[in-house]
Amino acid sequence: MTDFESDGRRELPLFPLGSVALPGVGLPLHVFEPRYRALVMTSLSSDRLFGSVLIARGSEIGGGDQRNDFGTLVRIIEAQEDADGRWLVTGVGIERLRVHEWLNDDPFPRAVVESSPDTPNGSDTAPLLELARSLCVEVRRRTGSGADLQTIVDLLDPDPSVASFQLLALSTLGPSDQYTGLCAPTTAGRLEFLCQSLRDQLADLDAIEALHRRESYGE
């Protein structure tokens, strides 16, 4: 765990986003709202840590959003303040967390969170990891977005849990599906979900290509 109390909990600034922050994955942020500028400065003045959760309903801007309870602990790696007070922040996901209790949003969202590591699998995840890796490359190749993906995939973290989160980020899944993967209680469960989702995408691509062939032949 990272700087949690003996009961696995701590109070933490929370940054709700429309995208999913994941362990082992970089998180670039352009911070301009006053409350989140205050969050960044508070984090920088202490241990450079904050949490990020996916917005369930609403917008990143203006408040009033509804938030999911699973998220990721993020450490600020670099932060630069512009002349107008905006921040360009580069963070990296450290581990999964779960919100135990939301606190008052003044001056920015805060919560008591607890560390939420993967439950041990009890089985070898290497075959699933290799399958997810190959399916991710294939989907990205067929959608025209896999130019440098193989190089990135070859540099996955040696920890299977972290690698499963990284593959989730490299995939073509949207925020809702990525959040489902984040919440999976085990590494194996996450990889199984990812593999099935990627198979579904490949099946959709096959169907679209078959339809185009029929149309080209005038069927």
- 95 token code pair: 């581990």
Lowest mean pLDDT among 8-12, 54-58, 89-93: 54-58
Our measurement of the distance from residue 157's CA atom to the centroid of its chain's CA atoms, rounded to an integer in Å, reads 15
Binned at pLDDT 50, 70 and 90, residue 149 comes out as confident
Q: Which long-range contacts (C-beta less than 8 Å, at least 24 apart) are formed by 205-209?
A: 205/139, 205/142, 205/143
Q: Is the previous residue joined to 13 through a cis bond, with omega within 30 degrees of 0?
A: no
pLDDT digits 0-9 by tens, 91-141:
999 999 999 999 988 899 999 999 999 998 777 899 999 999 999 999 998
Confidence of residue 6 (pLDDT cuts 50, 70, 90): low
* pLDDT tens profile 200-216: 999 999 888 777 677 66
CA dist 178 → 1, 46, 53, 197 (Å): 23, 30, 12, 10
* Residue among 18, 29, 1 at smallest CA distance from 178: 18
pLDDT of 159 > 60? The answer is yes
Give residue 133's identity as a one-letter amino acid code: R
User: Domains of the chain (ranges plus CATH)?
Assistant: 9-115 (2.30.130.40), 126-216 (no CATH)
What would the mean pLDDT of 84-90 be, rounded to a whole number?
94
Q: What is the pLDDT of residue 59?
A: 61
pLDDT of 70 > 80? The answer is yes
Angle, CA 85 vertex, CA 61 and CA 37 arms, to 5° = 45
Of 58, 55, 52, which is closest to residue 74 (Cα–Cα)? 52
Estimate the share of the chain in helix, then strand, then coil, as percent rounded to the nearest 5.
40, 30, 30
pLDDT, residue 98, reads 97
Mean of all residue pLDDT scores within the chain: 90
